Structure 1
Amino acid sequence: MKPSNMGTGRVVGQFGIGRVDGPDVDNEPEVVPLSGSITFTPSVPYFPNRTSSPNPITVLTAPITAVLDYDGYVCTPAADGVTPLYRGIQLFATDDPDMSVENWTYSVVYRFNAVNGAAPTIKAHSMALPEGAEIDLTKAVEVPSSPGVGTPQALALLAEAEAAASASAQSARVAMSVRDDADAGLFDGKPGPPGDPLNQAGADFMVKNYDFLTGWDRRAPILGGDGHLFVATDRTSRETWIGARREDGGPTDLSLWHMQNRLGIHQHADASVSWAVLDAAWRYTEMQLNNDGNVPDEVLRRWASRMGAATGSGLAVGDRYVNSDSSLSPVFPDVKNITIWGSSSAERIGTALAAALAGTGATFHNEGKGAETSQHISARLGSVPASLTVSGGSIPASGAVTVTAANMPNSAEMKPFTGTLNGVRGTLSSTSTVFSFTRTTAGAATPVTSGTAFIPIVGTASRQHVTLLWTGKNNLSGAGSAPLVTDQTHAAFNYLSPLVKRVLVLGHFVDTAQTSGSTQWTNVRTVNAALAALYGDLFLDVDAYLCSPQLWVDTGISPTPTDLQHQADGIKPPSIAHDSGHMNAAGYTSVSALIRTKLISLGWY
């Protein structure tokens, strides 16, 4: 934990890059968010904190790296160092006298991911961070400068251009006379048959942009062409592909045009296509990219059709494979459905989470049930099915029968759920002392072997949904419960869409009424650390978020001293608590937004 006498400040900022207008309603250029990281390196190697309590401490320094989220905002990273946890980052203040060294600075280095093959850059700079201050990096970066062209230089260039124009006026008049005769049709031969429209578009391009009498490029210097140093002509005095540009000796634009055409690689003037390979008739092939650098949807549809996805013979979400235990398992996730499994936290977050996920286009399903343990949730999901023994060894022809479960306790809070027991469909329910199985329809009495698995209907049907796992919180108040919760969470993760994982594991939080070092406090930390190590960026640390400054930014709540002390102790603060074990509306809304941000950062939506 940070010594209480060490002051901090906050760094914020947003970064984007300008680009050509995209597919929106206006015709203006776009500013799109950048991704990447920003590293803050203290200018001193350590701080001798001689006034800290209960004893002095020497704090060594190291580079601290922030990441950018999907909107380009500076964020504190999660434990994996990559996933944005919350916006803004807290750093040690550079003017705190308690650290013995004052008026030092941070070196700020920007590393942005490449855009269109080039990495945007901002020059590294130094920065001070006063205690309690919030520094926006946009106000801290060095303002770039441009050398420009001054008035004297511009006038000199203009005079030079006018002299060159006067010297070439006579030759231009001769060329214009010949060109007038050409425009009047005096040199035209017999018209040929009409050509292919796309091929004609290529010819029109050349006629429009090149003077075939002089070989000069009529355009502004798109590729740098402003006349030629040398051009070889054919027997009719037309420019051939052999030529050199005046300014650098490189190939002329016409040379490049011919070479690209023969190689089948050509830049075509189409606003919706950034690059394409053309066929002999100047038609687009399927080797093309849109303005975002992606394969166009129409090309993907053609590929899908040929691979069989459109006819049902290709890969689809309905595909299954045979698992090692001979069970059928889904191959792909169903991104059109999102389901949360858990106890009361999952149940109560439902309304806020459904609203947060509305923009994904997926249907939200809530399988949270208050007061259930990890065993009950795992049984309803099907990852650890209830192992049942039927009283008398047989399901009667109709009605209910008492059963016992070898792997979960009785609980009146368990949500009744439907499934099959030895092929007989029915509902499993519980009181505080007894489990009952009630068959759905009457039929023949059916013998059942002791320890037969009860296979749930809903859990099996939702197995390939995009899934949020928030299970086991009600177990963590008991000593020694951490391994069970970790193991059953892992079993659920493995059970869901085994080949392509779209499962996000949510970390647990400590109830408001708990104290640092309590059984639940210890178990929550043990389980969260194990889940973070197992799942990396597929783990969302809710506890860390609830104990962060970003919580107050997102909720708009001003924290009390008690809130801040709870956060420092790693315990859910009172201002977002409905009661000790649950959040209020503000808390659930902010966590729902956190989940949505995480799903988007994973590229699932």
Structure 2
Amino acid sequence: MPIYADELLVSGWGSSSMWLARQNIADMFSEMIPGSTFFKGGSSGAFTDEIAGRLGSIPLLVRVAHSKIVKSGVTRISISNCQRRANFKPFTGTLNGVQGSLSCDASGFIFTREQAGHTVFAPDEYPFISELGNFFKNGIMLLWMGKNDLSSGWSAEDVIARTDASFDFHTPVNKRCLVMGHFVDSTTPDIDRRRDAIYQVNAVHKSKYGELFVDIQQFVTSSEWWRYTGLAPTQEDLKLQARGNKPNSGSRDAGHLDDTGSGAVTAFLKDHIKALGWF
């Protein structure tokens, strides 16, 4: 295991918040670490089962139709630890020794061989080993995963477990892996299961990861939000913050930040990293 992370390999993993902030974060690391590569691993609508599978921290478990990977092209598959979704983002890796990509269509999951070859007998369940995660796991890593799970009724415990597994997948002994917390949406009622789940996940992550946890909920509901965004708060914004909700200013909709908001989060993240003394 390497002692220190490879500073030239930087990746961000998560759902829409990570995707919307991707270019801001890439530019920030490019400024701090000239020559670095930032992998934009956010995917709108992604859940933690898919994110962990793409990262490789919890490989997706695959069964092949008719117990064989065909000589070329598409093989129909099923996956036991990930649900099929319309916006599932394809990624490459290895299935039972065969290189290819995993994707899905209206009928289900698909494995597509990279190169033609012999038919491969595959009677069991096999992990799909992501090549993306193996490439970036020795570098600097950002994890902003779990918001969609919590918004859709999945358990906080599952989000915590998959995030922990993804953090542990980061191999350097001296960790340069940050866990980013979740914010409560603008329209979330004061008494609501989703709010409780977000508070629970954030509290557990903060307790476990300490200075490696970035408290986005605290940031967007504090006066610092206005200093970083440069925006003037409305009375409605201040009421939302007082309730523990994301303000409308700096948002593109109830559940997402706009470019100004994403830029503010990136600047806050940069100051957090500088405070850690990484650079």
Q: TM-score, normalised by structure 1?
A: 0.45
Q: Which has the larger radius of gyration?
A: 1
1:143-162 matches, cutoff 5 A: none
Match of 1:337 among 2, 5, 9: 9
Q: Offset of 1:561 from its aligned partner?
A: 1.2
Q: Distance in 2 between matches of 1:412 and 1:516?
A: 31
Residue 222 of structure 2 aligns with an amino acid whose one-letter code is: S
Match of 1:357 among 9, 21, 29: 29
Residue 424 of structure 1 aligns with an amino acid whose one-letter code is: V
2:263 matches 1:589:
yes
2:133 matches 1:435:
no
Equivalent in the alignment of 1:452: 126
Deviations 1:498-554 (A, max 9, x none): 522110100011112212222221111010001001101100100100000111122
Q: Distance in 2 between matches of 1:594 and 1:451?
A: 43
Residue 264 of structure 2 aligns with an amino acid whose one-letter code is: S
Contact kept? 1:410, 1:433, Cα under 8 Å: no
Match of 2:229 among 555, 566, 590: 555
Deviations 1:279-301 (A, max 9, x none): xxxxxxxxxxxxxxxxxxxxxxx
Q: Distance in 2 between matches of 1:427 and 1:526?
A: 35
Contact kept? 1:425, 1:440, Cα under 8 Å: yes
2:198 matches 1:529:
no
Q: Distance in 2 between matches of 1:431 and 1:345?
A: 24
Match of 1:407 among 68, 74, 81: 81
Equivalent in the alignment of 1:418: 92
2:20 matches 1:348:
yes
Equivalent in the alignment of 2:182: 508
Q: Distance in 2 between matches of 1:436 and 1:490?
A: 28
Residue 413 of structure 1 aligns with an amino acid whose one-letter code is: N
Deviations 1:308-362 (A, max 9, x none): xxxxxxxxxxxx5xxxxxxxxx554111222110111101101222233332123
Contact kept? 2:228, 2:268, Cα under 8 Å: no
Q: Distance in 2 between matches of 1:460 and 1:480?
A: 27
User: What SS does the aligned partner of 2:249 have?
Assistant: helix
Equivalent in the alignment of 1:491: 165
Q: Offset of 1:449 from its aligned partner?
A: 3.9
RCO comparison, higher one (Cα < 8 Å, 6+) = 2
Residue 61 of structure 2 aligns with an amino acid whose one-letter code is: S
User: What SS does the aligned partner of 1:409 have?
Assistant: coil
Q: Distance in 2 between matches of 1:517 and 1:429?
A: 38
Deviations 1:121-158 (A, max 9, x none): xxxxxxxxxxxxxxxxxxxxxxxxxxxxxxxxxxxxxx
Deviations 1:405-432 (A, max 9, x none): 0101001211100100011001100125
Name the count of aligned residue pairs: 277
Equivalent in the alignment of 1:62: none
Equivalent in the alignment of 1:465: 139
Q: Offset of 1:433 from its aligned partner?
A: 4.5
Equivalent in the alignment of 2:214: 540
Residue 355 of structure 1 aligns with an amino acid whose one-letter code is: D
Contact kept? 1:373, 1:475, Cα under 8 Å: yes
User: What SS does the aligned partner of 1:337 have?
Assistant: strand
Q: In the superposition, relative to structure 1, how do residues 399 and 510 fare at CA in structure 2: closer, same or farther (>3 Å)?
A: same
Q: Distance in 2 between matches of 1:526 and 1:367?
A: 25
Q: Distance in 1 between matches of 2:254 and 2:123?
A: 44
Q: Distance in 1 between matches of 2:83 and 2:13?
A: 19
Equivalent in the alignment of 2:278: 604
Equivalent in the alignment of 1:475: 149
Contact kept? 2:5, 2:172, Cα under 8 Å: no
Q: In the superposition, relative to structure 1, how do residues 470 and 457 fare at CA in structure 2: closer, same or farther (>3 Å)?
A: same
User: What SS does the aligned partner of 1:575 have?
Assistant: coil
| RMSD after superposition | 1.3
Higher helix share: 2
User: What SS does the aligned partner of 1:476 have?
Assistant: helix
1:71-110 matches, cutoff 5 A: none
Contact kept? 1:332, 1:497, Cα under 8 Å: no
Equivalent in the alignment of 2:44: 370
Q: Distance in 1 between matches of 2:21 and 2:123?
A: 40
Residue 584 of structure 1 aligns with an amino acid whose one-letter code is: D
Contact kept? 1:509, 1:524, Cα under 8 Å: yes
Contact kept? 1:414, 1:429, Cα under 8 Å: yes
Q: Distance in 2 between matches of 1:424 and 1:350?
A: 31
Residue 72 of structure 2 aligns with an amino acid whose one-letter code is: S
User: What SS does the aligned partner of 1:357 have?
Assistant: helix
Q: Distance in 1 between matches of 2:176 and 2:68?
A: 40
Residue 345 of structure 1 aligns with an amino acid whose one-letter code is: S
Residue 520 of structure 1 aligns with an amino acid whose one-letter code is: R
Unaligned segments of structure 1, at least 5 residues: 1-319, 321-329
Residue 438 of structure 1 aligns with an amino acid whose one-letter code is: T
Percent identity over paired residues: 36
1:112-131 matches, cutoff 5 A: none
Unaligned segments of structure 2, at least 5 residues: none
Q: Distance in 2 between matches of 1:465 and 1:414?
A: 25
Contact kept? 1:341, 1:471, Cα under 8 Å: yes
Contact kept? 1:411, 1:433, Cα under 8 Å: no
Q: Distance in 1 between matches of 2:100 and 2:56?
A: 15
Contact kept? 2:20, 2:259, Cα under 8 Å: no
Contact kept? 1:463, 1:495, Cα under 8 Å: yes
User: What SS does the aligned partner of 2:278 have?
Assistant: coil
Equivalent in the alignment of 1:571: 245
Residue 359 of structure 1 aligns with an amino acid whose one-letter code is: E
User: What SS does the aligned partner of 1:509 have?
Assistant: coil
User: What SS does the aligned partner of 2:13 have?
Assistant: strand
User: What SS does the aligned partner of 2:57 have?
Assistant: coil
Q: In the superposition, relative to structure 1, how do residues 480 and 364 fare at CA in structure 2: closer, same or farther (>3 Å)?
A: closer
Which aligned runs of 4 or more in structure 1 are off by greater than 3 angstroms?
none
Equivalent in the alignment of 1:219: none
Equivalent in the alignment of 2:66: 392
Q: Distance in 2 between matches of 1:423 and 1:392?
A: 18
